[in-house]
Amino acid sequence: MRTVDLVRDCIKRMEPYKPGKSVEYVKRKYGLKKVVKLASNENPYGPSPKAVKALKSVDPTKLSVYPETFPEPLLEAIEEHTGWEKEKVVVGAGLDGILETTFRVLVSEGDKVLLPVPTYPYYHTIMSVFGAKGVFVERNSDFSVNVESVFESVDRERPKLVVICSPNNPTGNAERKDDVRAIVEFCEGKCVVFIDEAYGEFADYDGKSLKDIEEENVIIGRTLSKAFALASLRVGYAVMGEELRKEYLKATTPFPVTTPSYIAASEALRDREHLNFVVKSIVEEKNRVSKELEKMGLKVYDSSANFVFAETPMKAKYFVEELMKRGVIVRDCSAFCGCRENQVRISIGRKEDNDFLLEVVRDVLSF
């Protein structure tokens, strides 16, 4: 028997997660000197200077010592930022780490997980890893969750977990609080609802955050990768009911967040001035870019995130390739479950990067 024959069948069958193209890859492939990446929803303004200073202050002689499992300074900073009681909060290696531990706690092979689609492709990956069966509910035309369809599917399929991303990746829309609360109440005693608020700080700006939905069957996850620009440090956190948290603690990795990560994250969460600057700047640029793209013939959907979702006058595969040839990387969404062949996601960068994007899109559409 070959070693590979020992690999679980669900892993053999699955496709790997496919991240967007890197700047270095595009430069090499097309021989370009200037490339702007607007594909991964990264924060173009960088982290809080206070977080950077804190990171630099870390004593390198302490790196041989394991960090606290749930560092108190980080929990206190999360409580200050969100209003969540720190006794109900967990932390992990990015929001993906929180989600993976949630699956460990709840999902056995053959269990069902409900997703309104289109949504974040990594959910499909982690479902495959755990051998879960997907229940896919098509969204409304504005990409909001179809509440009645969720009700019907929960009753019929009996999923263990419902995952709602708000603002949703890749479409950018924030869910209506009344709709999500209705789903949560309907699912009580039947399944857990995981609310992914990776872009929650941008929803806060729009007044559309779901962070105050705290029923016992709800987990709300957030990250410092987006609005706080600490993607490389991998810090995520979530709030959940006390009973569920007790079980979560059994399944989490022993040291989910590194010492440098939690020290920088704690300072980033407390730097409201920098956060407000970042969110305000991105929202203003997002509104400007949306209007300009619409003038060029793209259909741009309302977004409460740091990116826009758009339909192009041509197939997304061709559109994205032509942009890359000219030095701009955006995300082709045509292969996402529930997306159409002409849909793309465009991250919002700094003004000069967005200007370059608009110039290149104009050139592609006139080509």
Q: Enumerate the domain spans of the chain.
A: 3-46+273-366, 49-271
- Reply yes or no on whether the pLDDT at 7 is more than 90: no
Tens-digit pLDDT profile for residues 326-345: 999 999 999 999 999 999 99
Tens-digit pLDDT profile for residues 94-124: 999 999 999 999 999 999 999 999 999 999 9
Using 50, 70 and 90 to split pLDDT, how confident is the model at 208?
A: very high
Instruction: Kindly write down the DSSP assignment for every residue of 128-140, as one continuous string.
Output: HHTTPEEEEEEPP
Q: Which pair of tokens denotes residue 13? A: 């069958």
- Reply yes or no on whether the pLDDT at 51 is more than 80: yes
Its pTM stands at 0.95
Q: Which pair of tokens denotes residue 71? A: 């560092």
> What's the average model confidence in pLDDT over 283-296?
98
> What's the average model confidence in pLDDT over 189-208?
96
Quote the mean pLDDT of the chain.
Answer: 95
Continuous H helices in the chain: 9-13, 23-30, 49-56, 72-82, 94-106, 122-129, 147-157, 177-187, 200-206, 242-251, 259-270, 272-295, 316-325, 351-366
> What's the average model confidence in pLDDT over 292-309?
97
- Reply yes or no on whether the pLDDT at 367 is more than 90: no
Q: Where is average pLDDT lowest: 16-25, 128-137, 249-258, 278-287? A: 16-25
For 335, the 3-state DSSP assignment is coil
- Reply yes or no on whether the pLDDT at 361 is more than 90: yes
Would you state the pLDDT for residue 20?
A: 75
- Could you tell me if 265 and 51 are in contact, meaning their C-beta atoms sit under 8 angstroms apart? yes
- Reply yes or no on whether the pLDDT at 19 is more than 80: no
Q: How far is CA 352 from CA 202, 310, 356, in A?
A: 21, 20, 6
Class of domain 3-46+273-366: alpha beta
Q: Which pair of tokens denotes residue 266? A: 């704690």
Would you state the pLDDT for residue 250?
A: 95
Would you state the pLDDT for residue 55?
A: 95
Q: What CATH number belongs to 49-271?
A: 3.40.640.10
**How far apart, in whole angstroms, are the C-alpha atoms of residue 280 and residue 301?**
19
Look-up of token digits 């669900």:
10
